[in-house]
Amino acid sequence: MEVHNCMIVFHFLLFVFFKVADCSNVSIIGGKTVKKHQPWMVSIQKNQRHVCGGVLIEKQWVLTAAHCLLQSKKSVTVLIGALSLKKFKDSQRVGILDFKYPTTYNQKTNQDDIMLIKLNKKVKVKPIQIPKGEKDIPTGKTCVVMGWGTTDSKVMSPSDELQMLEVTVMNRKRCNLFYSEYFEITGDMMCAGSMETNRGTCWCKHSSKLRSKKSVVGVVSRSKGCGDPKKPTVYTFLSKRHISWIKSILKKQFNSTTF
């Protein structure tokens, strides 16, 4: 099987707006501990406690999901480049100026579940790229999930170590069969899951990023079940619309010290 070097980033949510999975924390069931430093990986934290994951896409900008709504900037920091939430080697903590998500974001339909966070300063870290234009990931391609979460569906305490797991991209039409009673899988979304039992991800309080060939192509949005190969995870796909939105925000705010 060809591995299409994709990456997904998991996190916790402060608030649950739409719940279809029976779990209380983000899970990466059957994953492995990440050993290699991932400088663009971030942990978004409230009072130095992990809330959401994300990726650094510019030296002052983090990409995450809108369902990770922070509501307040107070006591929010971003931990950049950490492999462990307890050991801070090769990492740095930075404050934030503000966050922004599309006015079209819909909690019920998952439309435009994407968010940008502006840091209070530029960091000396090489960001991960976003695509210059829309590039769909073909059905059957293998991607890699990364994040902090429980590794056992029966034990819901999260891991402090960064985890990774390979998942396979699923056809949107097939994926829609699992979610049609909740929302429609549109061209602005994509689906992926593990083909093995007891391997996979579940959603309750998290979101994620999907990376292809060292560029981010999606953000985790929703899932049904934990570690079930028949229940894929839904991602906000970095479609032409989403890429245009990101670029417009970066262009307007790139050199400003406020939001």
Condensed to tens digits (0 to 9), the pLDDT of residues 182-221 reads 899 999 998 988 765 444 444 433 445 566 556 777 888 8
Among 6-10, 49-53, 147-151, the range of highest mean pLDDT: 49-53
Examine the domain organization and report whether 76 and 201 are in the same domain. no
User: 94: helix, coil or strand?
Assistant: strand
Check whether 13 has a pLDDT greater than 50.
no
Q: Are residues 159 and 215 in the same domain?
A: yes
Structure confidence by residue, pLDDT tens digits, 218-251: 888 876 655 555 678 888 999 999 999 999 999 9
Q: How many domains does the chain have?
A: 2
- Are residues 150 and 89 located together in one domain of the fold? no
CATH code assigned at 57 = 2.40.10.10
Question: Residue 50 pLDDT more than 60?
Answer: yes
Q: Could you tell me the pTM of the whole model?
A: 0.82
| Model pLDDT, residue 246 | 96
Task: For 115-182, give the DSSP string.
Answer: EEEEESS--SSPPPB--SS--PPPTT-EEEEEE--BSBTTB-PPPSB-EEEEEEEE-HHHHHHHHTTT
Is 249 part of any domain? yes
- The parent domain of residue 248 ranges over 37-127+240-254
Return the top range by mean pLDDT from 4-8, 116-120, 214-218, 254-258.
Answer: 116-120
